[in-house]
Amino acid sequence: MIRILKEAETDRAQIFAREDPVGSVEAPVREIIENVRQQGDAALKHYTKEFDGADIPTVEVGAGAIDEGFRRADPLLVDILYRAAERVAAFHQHQVRNSFLVNEEDGIVMGQKIIPLERVGLYVPGGTAAYPSSVVMNCIPAKLAGVKEIFMVTPPGKDGKIPPNILAAARICGVNRVFRVGGAQAIAALAYGTESIPRVDKIVGPGNQYVAEAKKQVFGKVGIDMVAGPSEILVVADGKCNPQIVAADLLSQAEHDKNASAVLVTDSQALAEGVQAAIEEQLEKLKRQEIARASIETNGKIIVAQSLDTAIDIANEIAPEHLELSVDDPFDYLDKIKNAGSVFLGRNCPEALGDYFAGPNHTLPTSGTARFSSPLSVDDFVKKTQYTYYTHAALEKAQQSVSNFAKKEGLTGHARSVDIRFDTDFK
């Protein structure tokens, strides 16, 4: 049963505690990465057999197999995928940046170029957690950014095939190449390259703790979006909320993972007790009941705060991945939110809307990193290069300022590189 904690009577350590997954996978992941670096495709096939139970003749999924997957995909889902891709694109289009040029002083030109990454890798979970929505959310911003090559890696089933719905999403969103490999070995392949998989500039997408650890270890060799932890939801709700609805929203994230976190913060003891009972009732009806119950009993909590303003303060301290403001006039509270991956406003905006269809991205900072991180966006798929041009006359005006600044820092070579251009012996 989910715990109820009274904020005024509970130690802060309990209020803000986050349970980390037990056990480190650093050493086995390091070994996997090294073996992929040394053995390439042979290592990928070995690990796919070991971890996924699949013998794969080739690492890459051919164009014919992708076409077949698209034909076999659920027609209803295909229609939804097209519409979801349109909505995600419409939202992310507003994030596209333009290069700029500044020429406000005679003889001086400065600017910044926005340059798309050449090649990115999308990690898409597979097995019991095959999510076409991950393809949409990761691929669309990359396409809008102008990335030339988008590769997708995802683990196959025991038959060595990728689920048709995943292949349909890849085709709809414009993935260039698909590879049937998952886990830490897929991350290693994207980072270092193998005979079949060219190395990429950046890796994005969610995965299990092995995938997260692998992304951490290859960072620096390639870029990554983030090191994602278990999924999280925090609902701030007033006493007018329907406890059955709040319970359903909490369970929508609890069913993701045994380590997922579902938290309610409310100013109503009656709502807290109602939600606690509703969760128990609804758990019995969930297909992923075992996973959701483990999440609720380990990481779930209901915090009864003294006021809604205190509830907002608690939410900012926790900095959740998903934050629902299930209150009257939710826009009155929006400016008070400082730390959250994505905010869902009002009583008719469940987090699941954002997972699939609304438009904003569902790849979000977790584990409190919303204090300093942002949702996946078009910005993640571009780099910025700045440039400067000075005429000789413009440099002359700045000479003494630059030269003296350099000398004050003890860098006489810096100063000399400016001064020498005005030394009559070198003209």
C-alpha span between 236 and 343 (Å, rounded): 11
Q: How many CB atoms lie within 10 A of CB 390?
A: 15
C-alpha span between 97 and 383 (Å, rounded): 11
DSSP at 21 = P
Exposure of 132 in the CB half-sphere (CA atoms within 13 A): 26
Active site (annotated) includes residue 280: no
Active site (annotated) includes residue 46: no
How far is CA 37 from its chain centroid? 26
Structure token digits, residue 409: 């820092």
Burial class (CB in 10 A: 0-12, 13-18, 19+), 141: buried
Q: Which of 173, 128, 191, 136 minimizes the C-alpha distance to 155?
A: 128
Q: What are phi and psi of 262, to 5 degrees?
A: -125, 120
- Find where tokens 């939410």 sit: 315
C-alpha span between 339 and 330 (Å, rounded): 16
Q: Give the torsion through C-alpha atoms of 184, 210, 77, 148, to 10 deg.
A: -40
C-alpha span between 84 and 137 (Å, rounded): 9
Q: Which helix (H) or strand (E) holds 282?
A: helix 269-283
Following DSSP, what letter does each residue of 221-281 receive, concatenated? TBEES----S-EEEEEE-TTS-HHHHHHHHHHHHTT-TT-EEEEEES-HHHHHHHHHHHHH
Determine which one of 322, 324, 351, 362 is catalytic.
322
Contacts of 56 (CB under 8 A, 6+ apart): 45, 48, 156, 160, 180, 181
Determine which one of 7, 213, 232, 321 is catalytic.
321
Where in the sequence numbering do the catalytic residues fall? 321-322
